């Protein structure tokens, strides 16, 4: 790729700086001694460094100053002499990478056609060595060591970028998961239910399969909060959540949709099967002794309203039917399961 020089060979001087170039190219030139210390120029012979020194320029940046902006033209390579640069993709996510002393930035955009692929800013006062496009290609042609170093840096940069992108993808997924989860119970939340339930319904309608949904409400929950405090109420919800998790089948879904209300989804389940599952859960909660900080709480019970998926139903209609059945259970004395159907009546004890 490069050309090896004999002792008689002399690399031609790169072209002088043309008048009228950007003000950044008018900064003072750099000494050969400084060039020798830069990692990006390690291994380059003194003859090439002697020819490079008059052409290379210094650039100083203040803290927070932008060097490159994503999408804007760039035909220069910058070598960090002192300070630190950070590389960002969108200005919102954590920095994609940091570039310190002896490292380079700008070569990807120069090689890719002159448009910066990321935004680069200084984290503090930073001094840079500036190589214009012509000087960069002159170094590539006349220094085998610079060319090999360039390939190594590009490979490391791409690997680092891939790792950072993967980390950002994982982080984004974690944020998305957090946005769809309830921190108190560990269940999915109402947002998840609103997003997911329509897809579950469509799949069951397409396959002509039965499914049911239940809305479950903790009875007299306000009295728990008012008498024992909200921390005790949170403890009740967490214990109810553990009972729900232990009694539902692996294929069933549970969501904490707000306050003391839970939604239970029973896929591939007829109304008769959902009634059995709901009653098993209701009885387990009614038979459990709840406590808070070692203090026994009054008996906790739940009311449930069940709705079965019908041919033309959508998620809003199904939830509304379950809500209506829940209100019927509340009106009938609580601690019971109600559902809609031909001649169906609730079960449980008041």
Query: Which residues carry out catalysis?
Result: 260
Taking CB atoms within 8 Å and a gap of at least 24, the contacts of 84-89 are 84/122, 84/123, 84/124, 84/126, 85/120, 85/121, 85/122, 85/123, 85/126, 86/120, 86/121, 86/122, 86/123, 87/118, 87/119, 87/120, 88/118, 88/119, 88/120, 88/121, 89/118, 89/119
- CA dihedral 217→222→228→234, nearest 10 degrees, is 40
Please give the full DSSP string across 159-183, using - where no structure is assigned: HHHHHHHHHHHHHHHHHHHHHTB-T
Residue 73 carries which DSSP code?
B
Side-chain half-sphere exposure of 200, counting CA atoms within 13 A: 23
- For 180-335, list the strands marked E by DSSP: 188-189, 212-218, 253-258, 261-266, 291-292, 295-296, 302-308
334-345 per-residue burial string, b: 16 or more CB within 10 A, e: under 16: bbbbbbbeeeee
Do residues 51 and 134 lie in contact, with contact meaning Cβ atoms separated by under 8 Å?
no
| CB-neighbour burial class of residue 347 (10 A; exposed 0-12, middle 13-18, buried 19+) | middle
- Residue 136, SS3? helix
In sequence order, the 6+-apart residues with CB closer than 8 A to the CB of 57 are 17, 24, 25, 26, 27, 28, 29, 30, 129, 130
- Token representation of residue 301: 């019970």
Count other C-beta atoms under 10 Å from residue 168's C-beta. 15
CA distance 233 to 227: 10
């Amino acid at each position: 790729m490069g050309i090896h020089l004999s002792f008689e060979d002399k690399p031609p001087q790169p072209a002088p700086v043309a008048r009228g170039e950007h003000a950044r190219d008018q900064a003072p030139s750099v000494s050969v001694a400084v060039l020798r210390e830069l990692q990006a120029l390690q291994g380059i012979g003194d003859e090439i460094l002697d020819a490079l020194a008059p052409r290379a320029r210094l650039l100083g940046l203040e803290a927070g100053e932008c060097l490159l902006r994503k999408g804007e033209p760039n035909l220069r390579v910058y070598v960090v002499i002192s300070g630190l640069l950070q590389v960002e993709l969108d200005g919102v996510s954590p920095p994609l990478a940091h570039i310190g002393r002896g490292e380079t930035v700008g070569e990807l955009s120069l090689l890719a056609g002159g448009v910066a692929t990321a935004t680069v800013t200084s984290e503090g006062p930073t001094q840079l060595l500036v190589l214009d496009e012509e000087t960069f290609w002159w170094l590539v042609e006349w220094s085998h060591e610079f060319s090999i170093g360039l390939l190594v840096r590009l490979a490391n940069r791409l690997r680092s970028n891939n790792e950072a992108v993967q980390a950002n993808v994982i982080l984004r997924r974690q944020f998305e998961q957090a946005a769809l989860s309830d921190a108190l119970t560990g269940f999915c939340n109402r947002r998840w239910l609103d997003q997911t339930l329509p897809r579950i319904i469509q799949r069951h309608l397409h396959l002509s399969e039965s499914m049911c949904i239940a809305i479950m409400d903790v009875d007299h929950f306000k009295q728990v909060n008012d008498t024992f405090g909200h921390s005790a109420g949170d403890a009740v919800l967490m214990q109810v959540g553990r009972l729900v998790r232990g009694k539902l089948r692996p294929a069933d879904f549970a969501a904490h949709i707000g306050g003391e209300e839970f939604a239970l989804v029973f896929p591939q389940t007829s109304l008769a099967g959902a009634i059995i599952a709901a009653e098993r859960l209701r009885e387990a909660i009614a038979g459990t002794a709840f406590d808070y900080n070692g203090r026994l709480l009054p008996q906790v019970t739940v009311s449930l309203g069940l709705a079965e998926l019908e041919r033309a139903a959508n998620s809003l209609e199904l939830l509304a039917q379950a809500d209506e059945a829940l209100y019927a259970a509340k009106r009938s004395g609580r601690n019971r399961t109600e559902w809609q159907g031909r001649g169906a009546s609730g079960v449980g004890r008041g």
